[in-house]
Amino acid sequence: MDAAVKSGLLSDVRGVGAKPRNANRRSSVFSSQKGSCVSMSFGTPHSDWRLKEMKASYIKSTVHSVGASTYAETAIGSYPHAAEEKIGVLLLNLGGPETLVDVQPFLFNLFADPDIIRLPRLFQFLQKPLAQLISVLRAPKSREGYAAIGGGSPLLRITNEQAHALKCALEAKEISANVYVAMRYWYPFTDEALQQIKRDKITRLVVLPLYPQFSISTTGSSIRVLQNAFREDAYLSRLPVSIIQSWYQRPGYIKSMVDLIKKELESFSKPEEAIIFFSAHGVPVSYVEEAGDPYKDQMEECIALIMQELKSRGAYNDHILAYQSRVGPVRWLKPYTDEVLVELGQKGVKSLVAVPVSFVSEHIETLEEIDMEYRELALESGIENWARVPALNCTSSFITDLADAVMEALPSAAAMSTASSKTEDVNQDPIDYFIKMFFGSLLAFALLFLPKLTTAFKNHII
């Protein structure tokens, strides 16, 4: 969730209902014919949520959805038929506004997602009117956040760099693959990437969400979009696909995180006194308690694995996990990052290393929310020595481990269901649509600005 998320929501996002500024934008793809892995510079780490309907598919990290598998522990080894296939890897991410003009439509796409703003079935026709209203109201504050980090999100650029680095890492393992980037709420959208996959005649696909831990609001939402698209397309419905739903427990990821944490600890005169402060993106409590979202459990297990590795390297620092980027009237996972920072200062903590554990790319939550807002709050609270662990970005050990995960996933790829599905908007009466939008807008306005009504609906809306 981005700092724009305190003013917007969830991480960085044009999509559902938003008109493209540039119809000529192209999907991001790094094919076996494009680019040179030899000359590629990966750079340094500093380079620039219907819950219950989804419960059966998404409540565990080891869920096997149609044609989807989770790879966590078992290394299957190199795929023996790689030379006979045209392999594709699809990287999933949230996306982010590239310019300040993009911020409002990005926010609309975000809030229009039923996995982000949850409405009771009776009120689902309010989704788009409510998204439009909230995005317009939140856009000014969100623009301030993006302006503070250079006028737009660096997420697409970094994800493209990761895609190219992954392609090169696979080639080094004798796996030739096209690597595609699909953003959930901004360009290049999922559909753009899928169309390119069809044009390239990919015969086996691995879907790799760039979220270490699974959540309905991130990986779950993106997988839902993929499943809908595959049901409606004859070519895609027959394409063998393997979905890596979470990978927070992979040794390569854990060791890469520990490498970066150790480096920051060493910047202190007394490294052993520094508190390791893990700040993860928050999710509403209802996701976990009502829908069985495994995010909280996976996050806590991830932290335990990181600390175990740190101790094996002689670092016995105290640590704490908190959640950032909450928004709206509902309860979010606690403790909250901002409140914990104040408490630590009051307790006399002087040295702190902030670790953005749920983020593998620099974006507004790290560059503005953590580096600016939380750093200032920490210093004001009495913490004197502040350091922040960079996002993994294109760290070589991290990219190599992603390549291993792709290779492990290849053998179990299977075709998705060919069952067709219809959306609610198909063949919709335009007059009925207009009436719903008009009255929906009025009700959305009332819900947003009348506190008593908002409170009454707080268990159904973010």
| Model pLDDT for residues 24-33, shown as the tens digit of each residue | 454 577 654 4
Identity of the residue numbered 69:
S
For range 154-158, the mean pLDDT: 97
Is residue 110 a contact partner of residue 116, using CB atoms and an 8 Å limit? yes
| Fold matches, 3-249+395-415 and 251-388 | yes
Higher-pLDDT residue of 38, 164: 164
- pLDDT tens-digit series, residues 249-306: 999 999 999 999 999 999 999 999 999 999 999 999 999 999 999 999 999 999 999 9
Higher-pLDDT residue of 158, 39: 158
Sorting pLDDT into bands at 50, 70 and 90, what band is 14? very low
Q: Please state, for a pLDDT cut of 90, what percent of the chain lies above it.
A: 64
Query: For residue 80, what pLDDT is reported?
Result: 73
Going from N- to C-terminal start, the domains of the chain cover 3-249+395-415, 251-388
Q: Which of 297-306, 396-405, 442-451, 452-461 has the lowest mean pLDDT?
A: 452-461
Query: For residue 134, what pLDDT is reported?
Result: 87
Q: Which of 56-70, 88-102, 228-242, 423-437 has the lowest mean pLDDT?
A: 56-70
Stretch (H or E) spanning 456: helix 451-456
Tell me how far CA of residue 338 lies from CA of 277, 345, 371, in angstroms: 11, 11, 13
3-state DSSP assignment of residue 427? coil
Q: Please state, for a pLDDT cut of 70, what percent of the chain lies above it.
A: 73
| 16 pLDDT more than 50 | no
Is residue 221 a contact partner of residue 113, using CB atoms and an 8 Å limit? yes
CATH of 3-249+395-415, one of 3.40.50.920, 3.40.50.1400, 3.90.180.10, 3.40.50.850: 3.40.50.1400
Name residue 267's beta-bridge partners: none
Query: For residue 170, what pLDDT is reported?
Result: 98
3-state DSSP assignment of residue 189? strand
CATH of 251-388, one of 3.40.50.970, 3.40.50.1400, 3.40.50.620, 3.20.190.10: 3.40.50.1400
Sorting pLDDT into bands at 50, 70 and 90, what band is 36? low
Nearest of 99, 115, 75, 128 to residue 406 by alpha carbon: 75
- pLDDT tens-digit series, residues 198-250: 999 999 999 999 999 999 999 999 999 999 999 999 999 999 999 999 999 99
Query: For residue 130, what pLDDT is reported?
Result: 87
Identity of the residue numbered 18:
A
- pLDDT tens-digit series, residues 385-396: 999 999 999 999
Report the mean per-residue pLDDT for the chain: 81
